[in-house]
Structure 1
Amino acid sequence: MKRLILHISLGAALCILLAFGALQGWYGWYAASHPLDLSRLDRRGSLILDRAGSYMHMFAAKDGIFRLKADISHVDPRYIRTLVAFEDKRFYNHGGIDYLALFRATAQAIKNGRVISGGSTLTMQVARLLEPRPRTWQSKLIEMARAAQLEDRFSKQDILNIYLTLAPYGGAYEGVRAASWHYFGREPKDMTWGEAALLTVLPQSPSRFRPDRHPAAAAMARDKVLARVQGALGISKADLAANEGDRLRLSRNKKHPVTAYHLAFRLKDRKDDFDTVKTTLMARYQGGATDIINRAVNRLAPGMTAAAVIMDSRTGEIIAYVGSPDYFNEARAGAVDMVRAIRSPGSTLKPFIYGMGFDDGFLHPLTLIRDEKVRFGDYAPTNFRDRFHGEISILYALQHSLNIPAVKVLSRVGAQRFAAKLALAHVPLDIPGDQGAGLALALGGAGISLEDLVRLYGALAGDGHVRPERLRMADKLTAGAPLISPTARSYLQRILKGVAPPADLMPASLRQKGRRIAFKTGTSWGFRDALAIGFDDRWVIGVWIGKADGTPNPGHYGAKTAAPILFDLFAMMPKNSPREIRPREIRVAESDKVNWQLSRLSPLQRHFDQPPLKRYAAISPPPVIQFPVPDSQIKLPKAHRPVYVEATGGTGNLSLLVNGEPVAKFTPQGHVWWQPDGVGFHHLTIVDEAGRSVGTDVRILP
């Protein structure tokens, strides 16, 4: 009898060995002839966060599933320990198939006539997640083959990472990160034992244990997991008592907010390796700006909409981005991002036209110019309401946004040159037709986005350089392209800060703080666009109002409709942030000295419309700079001694301008001493009383 039992046992063992060998051979054949399909791992969505890591939006993958890449190093160890202890306690010791668990599950099923426990390891579950199949014994064999294949190709950590990315957690959410953001409103880096247990049991029956739909069933399943793993994980009785029976604490933001939806949609494909986009937005100001725009639009006519951008001029970071007040409002074309839409800038480019005149040396804020009827060929610009003001200063012309002076100055600067200057600063204008830039640029005869306008005004508020907008914290801080000199920038800052808004439009909080806002408004032809752009020592804010389809909005113009919103946005922003240090890469010249005395202006700068003294110019040669010679490199004299400048020719007294600012006067055939304010490039201009000028560039070396 004993020998019979021995023979039976040996035979059974031999059969098991043969079956095991056959299975191993079949696993090897299947793996060799059926490569792993890892394509589901590549179908992932995007997570959009503000600069502090607060949730803004989550985008689904192309298959409609909210799925984010996960890594064991970014997940609370309590969850990993709970998962392994509950699902596959021999995970780190088997080769993908736990034959003891399979034998136990088979015996329980035979004894009870139904499935009591599963024998699938975490590796087998990963195989099923990668290649979903019906629950049949044939599918189980394939999963076992795939498990062996996975163990042969990947480390245990890699296998866990795949599970953490693909496991189902209810509804359209897969992966522990998407689930944690959906249910808890945060990354799974810091969980309680209860949260770890809940996310462990959810994949077993995602629809039955969904905590947002079946909280009682979810709580019971969670407590079951805690009771089973308590001993293995050494969970204290105090921790167990604190988590068992505790009510589920779910995030209140399961309905994804649509704040900054336009920006979120714009950036969703610019994610990092973990499918995350950390924007430069500040949630507090983004929400406040959205509320302000919403309230304003609700007071406007049907079909009208609005947009706003808030930028930090020191870094180019976008702090708030409102493409429209409601993305899903079809009546107001809410899906159209009006921050990026190409629209007419109205009069908002005028400061930069005057700025080029300042840099060219023929213009000064106190230069007198005649505001009168004028014609340039077939083009006859007019002022708002067809009013003219006679002889006025450039300061007055810009502060009152008069059209005729701006067009006159652009005619001397050159419209093509002005457009090329902006293009070199990476702000190209959309010029209609094929004739190129014309004088209508001064009054909005070109297209530009609100975003680019804010960047341009950032140069006025900052150091004169136009920087690329920084939308993500990962975007590098760059020096930007030079647009305007410190002297011209200082002139424009002073002029625009002197614009006094109507008292009834300025929020009381701004009036009480004595906060000076430099701003410019603009209105396009036919009242199609109303704009207001402003800046202080740190913030640049742009507001646009109109209709997305470009139809007119009679009675709505920049000063009336857009400016009040601009002031409300400034009232929301902090005046200063002493804890933050200005980046070394951006040094704003704060010691610009501006000459505001008309008597010191050169003849070229006093009267814009005064013709040159042709009678004297005909009998005298134009001025010539004898020293320094063009493109000189002069070592900075010791003890701060001045540099010798000599010029000949010209009519009447000669004037020396350095970087567009008058320095001294002297007689022809004479010389003057110039004291450089430091090393670097300087542009020297000599102007005679006939208005003729000559210039040269000089580099002062240390």
Structure 2
Amino acid sequence: MKRLFALVLCLWSVAVIRDGLDRLIDETELPVLVHATAPEVRDRHGALLRAYTIEDGLWRMALSADQVDPLFYDMLIAYEDKRFRAHAGVDPQATLRAAWQALRNGEIVSGASTLTMQVARLLEDGTTGQWAGKLRQMRLALALERHLSKDEILDLYLRLAPYGGNVEGLRAASLVWLGKEPRRLTPAEAALLVALPQAPESRRPDRHPEAARRARDRVLIRMAQAGVITMGDAQAGQSDPAPPGRHAMPQIAPHMADRAVATGPGRHDLTLDKGLQIALENLTRTYMQGRDPRLSMAVVLADIESGEILASVGSPRYTATEGQGFVDMTQAMRSPGSTLKPLVYGLAFDRGLVHPETLILDTPVQFGTYAPQNFDGVYRGEVPVRRALQLSLNIPVVRLTEALGPAHLMSALKRAGVNPGLQGGAPGLALSLGGLGVTLEEMVQLYGALARGGEAKTLTWQNGAAPEPLDRIMSAASAWQVGHVLAGLMPPPQAGPQGRVAYKTGTSYGHRDAWALGWNGRYVAGVWIGRPDGTPVPGAFGGDLAAPMLFEVLGRATVRPAPLPPPPAETLLVSRAQLPATLQRFGPRDAAQSLQLTFPPDGARLSAGGDIPIKVRGGTPPYTLLADGAVVGTELRGGAFFAPDLGAGFTTLSVIDALGQSGRVSVEVR
């Protein structure tokens, strides 16, 4: 009877203890299980471009099970907690073994911490050696097992385990110590990542490489003995050198990454292609080597059809102080110089004002108080519109802008998604020569519209975001004509095999900005070079400085040359003689009397050493006199005047009246 009573009492006591323990576990308040991870930016394929530290400068990064090599999981469980999948948070066998060894030896010989208990310690930042701490970890471990799955507990360990210094979690550790994602690991790499959390500071590879190597080798041997890897793999892994130090976290596309992170925390997937981005960043740094360190460069490359930005370089060196590398020059407002001229010509084609073969006057002209001049100061008389665009002449494009109206040009820019910066009042004729502010990204967007046959759409840089459709800025035929004219320009020397490129260069007033924009059959790109502070760069021209880089950019992107598209069916492809009379010439057609240069006669031979008499008939004064395209006399009136001594040689003399009519002769001075 006494034995029965004792048995009942014992069972009752066990039940009471069990129920009390259950209540204790159920009443355990769990710590915060969600922890901040580094904002990160990835490319279109999911490759890491850049990550950022979290509070206190910690590297802690999001990680999912499919991002980890299964070998690491096998090693971790076999080394740290081989009964992890079976126990309820505390391993009774390991606890009894550790207690018995401690009693026999008078000190702790081996630990009994399970992975769940280690997670409990990491969650509460607790100690490992004190009994009170151990008991708290056991209680929390049991509670965690009741609320989380085994995989969720492993995820917490892989996110919070310390790996030395400011590195927490497996993914950050793999990037910092191995320079790679943990998706594919060698046995030696996996063993190192298993060993480091046990003594993260004393085994840091950058400070204690030998200690890290020894710890790794012990894990390799244990894993071979446990059958996780072969002894041959363990021995081969031991011959691998320990990591020599820290690897820098990726800092690819830093300006675009900053732009993405500014929109909010978490992961950001961009349309950029990591390989292209790295190639263009390296190309930019190489191209700018040996140049003025105050210079910066920006590059944007986009897919024509999708409008997706594939690479964006804001400066040659993000951290450079000289040249203000931290400034993203793809977003800076700058004067576009002559790069808006293709838009003006395309709009003029669309309005039926001119055709590429139409003759247009390149002569001195004045609109009120505004008297534009060509960049080289030379006037060429009548030239085909096609040639005027290829030579980037200023006067013909201003004539067309006056005919179109500057407001029409501004409207077209806005339809293309460009938000021009304009200082003061209404837009004027200088718009077509760069008299406004635009960004490089906007200009690539505009040229993308030309490349797509006049169809505008916004450039996108966030992966998965559909480009915003915009209004058509011109007809497909007009856009093709512009591209066809620009593709007729001679490429820079040593241009690569990227196929025919329709491109335009530009230089802003005072040589502050050098531009080159263009497209081939698949990509549209833009290059800007200058000083971020807007100070002049003497001698900088878009054609010399930016154009070679544009062709390099398109060459890096183009695996096989992509041909430019054929002309739309409605395109008018005829010679000037076949054009309607109203399209054969642009400009004054109703002068009362045509201008004739009557003396000297064409082909005359004149004696050197004095002024040359000039006689004209008809036209509307005042007249302008030019010698070989250079102005040598203005505000001339009457039918006779003199040209200054021209020196020996052949010379072309031209007279232009107030309506733009001209007459010319070629003479030889002896």
TM-score by length of 2: 0.78
Deviation at 1:520, TM superposition (A): 1.0
- Superposition pairs for residues 281-680 of structure 1, below 5 Å? 281-283=273-275, 285-433=276-424, 435-471=425-461, 473-476=463-466, 481-500=471-490, 505-507=492-494, 510=496, 515-574=499-558, 576=560, 591-592=568-569, 593-610=571-588
Give the whole-Å Cα distance in 1 for the aligned partners of 2:198 and 2:79: 11
Supply the AA of the counterpart residue of 2:493. Answer: M
Q: Give the corresponding residue for 1:698.
A: none
SS in 1 for 2:215: helix
Q: Give the corresponding residue for 2:32.
A: 37
In structure 2, relative to structure 1, the CA distance for the partners of 1:351 and 1:84 (3 Å cut) is same
Give the whole-Å Cα distance in 2 for the aligned partners of 1:209 and 1:386: 72
Q: Give the corresponding residue for 1:188.
A: 182
Contact map agreement 2:422 2:436 (CA 8 A) in 1: yes
Deviation at 1:247, TM superposition (A): 1.0
Deviation at 1:94, TM superposition (A): 2.6
Contact map agreement 2:498 2:554 (CA 8 A) in 1: no
Deviation at 1:349, TM superposition (A): 0.9
Give the whole-Å Cα distance in 1 for the aligned partners of 2:345 and 2:503: 15
Contact map agreement 2:206 2:245 (CA 8 A) in 1: no
Contact map agreement 1:219 1:247 (CA 8 A) in 2: no
Contact map agreement 1:342 1:449 (CA 8 A) in 2: yes
- More moved, 250-259 vs 353-362: 250-259
Supply the AA of the counterpart residue of 1:459. Answer: A
Deviation at 1:525, TM superposition (A): 1.7
- Superposition pairs for residues 231-250 of structure 1, below 5 Å? 232-243=226-237, 245-248=238-241, 250=243
Q: Give the corresponding residue for 1:83.
A: 76
SS in 2 for 1:331: coil
Deviation at 1:355, TM superposition (A): 0.9
Give the whole-Å Cα distance in 1 for the aligned partners of 2:244 and 2:166: 17
Q: Give the corresponding residue for 1:684.
A: none
Give the whole-Å Cα distance in 2 for the aligned partners of 1:18 and 1:612: 114
Contact map agreement 2:359 2:382 (CA 8 A) in 1: yes
Deviation at 1:258, TM superposition (A): 4.4
Deviation at 1:477, TM superposition (A): 6.5
Supply the AA of the counterpart residue of 2:253. Answer: A
**RMSD between aligned residues:** 3.5
Give the whole-Å Cα distance in 1 for the aligned partners of 2:156 and 2:323: 43
Deviation at 1:491, TM superposition (A): 0.8
Contact map agreement 2:209 2:243 (CA 8 A) in 1: no
- Superposition pairs for residues 64-83 of structure 1, below 5 Å? 64-83=57-76
Deviation at 1:330, TM superposition (A): 0.4
**Residue 46 of structure 2 is aligned to residue 59 of structure 1:** no
In structure 2, relative to structure 1, the CA distance for the partners of 1:397 and 1:13 (3 Å cut) is same
Give the whole-Å Cα distance in 1 for the aligned partners of 2:246 and 2:340: 42
**Residue 143 of structure 2 is aligned to residue 149 of structure 1:** yes
Deviation at 1:514, TM superposition (A): 9.5
Deviation at 1:46, TM superposition (A): 1.4
Q: Give the corresponding residue for 1:660.
A: none
Q: Give the corresponding residue for 2:663.
A: none
TM-score by length of 1: 0.75
In structure 2, relative to structure 1, the CA distance for the partners of 1:196 and 1:298 (3 Å cut) is closer
Deviation at 1:531, TM superposition (A): 0.9
SS in 2 for 1:347: helix
Q: Give the corresponding residue for 1:178.
A: 172
Structure whose CA Rg is larger: 2
- More moved, 175-184 vs 327-336: 175-184
Supply the AA of the counterpart residue of 1:524. Answer: S
In structure 2, relative to structure 1, the CA distance for the partners of 1:19 and 1:110 (3 Å cut) is farther
- More moved, 111-120 vs 192-201: 111-120
In structure 2, relative to structure 1, the CA distance for the partners of 1:39 and 1:379 (3 Å cut) is farther
Which deviations, in whole Å up to 9, do the C-alpha atoms of 1:154-178 show, x marking residues without a partner? Answer: 2222221222222222232222222
Contact map agreement 2:298 2:316 (CA 8 A) in 1: yes
Q: Give the corresponding residue for 1:120.
A: 113
SS in 2 for 1:530: strand
- More moved, 66-75 vs 252-261: 252-261
Q: Give the corresponding residue for 1:694.
A: none
Contact map agreement 1:429 1:447 (CA 8 A) in 2: yes
Match of 1:254 among 240, 247, 260: 247
In structure 2, relative to structure 1, the CA distance for the partners of 1:437 and 1:108 (3 Å cut) is farther
Q: Give the corresponding residue for 2:652.
A: none
Q: Give the corresponding residue for 1:280.
A: 272
Contact map agreement 1:48 1:268 (CA 8 A) in 2: no
Contact map agreement 2:477 2:567 (CA 8 A) in 1: no
In structure 2, relative to structure 1, the CA distance for the partners of 1:506 and 1:163 (3 Å cut) is same
Supply the AA of the counterpart residue of 2:333. Answer: I
**Residue 257 of structure 2 is aligned to residue 264 of structure 1:** yes
SS in 1 for 2:382: strand
Deviation at 1:20, TM superposition (A): 5.7
Supply the AA of the counterpart residue of 1:361. Answer: G
In structure 2, relative to structure 1, the CA distance for the partners of 1:110 and 1:271 (3 Å cut) is farther
In structure 2, relative to structure 1, the CA distance for the partners of 1:249 and 1:426 (3 Å cut) is farther
Deviation at 1:22, TM superposition (A): 4.4
SS in 2 for 1:208: coil
In structure 2, relative to structure 1, the CA distance for the partners of 1:555 and 1:74 (3 Å cut) is closer
Contact map agreement 2:417 2:470 (CA 8 A) in 1: no
Give the whole-Å Cα distance in 2 for the aligned partners of 1:111 and 1:514: 78
Match of 1:28 among 26, 30, 38: 26
Give the whole-Å Cα distance in 1 for the aligned partners of 2:471 and 2:91: 64
Deviation at 1:496, TM superposition (A): 0.8
Supply the AA of the counterpart residue of 2:584. Answer: R
Deviation at 1:311, TM superposition (A): 2.6
Which deviations, in whole Å up to 9, do the C-alpha atoms of 1:660-688 show, x marking residues without a partner? Answer: xxxxxxxxxxxxxxxxxxxxxxxxxxxxx
SS in 2 for 1:384: coil
Deviation at 1:442, TM superposition (A): 0.7
Deviation at 1:492, TM superposition (A): 0.8
Contact map agreement 2:205 2:242 (CA 8 A) in 1: no
SS in 1 for 2:322: helix
Supply the AA of the counterpart residue of 1:599. Answer: A
Contact map agreement 2:260 2:268 (CA 8 A) in 1: no
Contact map agreement 2:514 2:545 (CA 8 A) in 1: yes
Identity %: 38
Supply the AA of the counterpart residue of 2:528. Answer: W
In structure 2, relative to structure 1, the CA distance for the partners of 1:93 and 1:335 (3 Å cut) is same
Deviation at 1:548, TM superposition (A): 0.7
- More moved, 353-362 vs 332-341: 353-362
Which deviations, in whole Å up to 9, do the C-alpha atoms of 1:340-396 show, x marking residues without a partner? Answer: 211111111110111111122222112222223334344333321443333322212
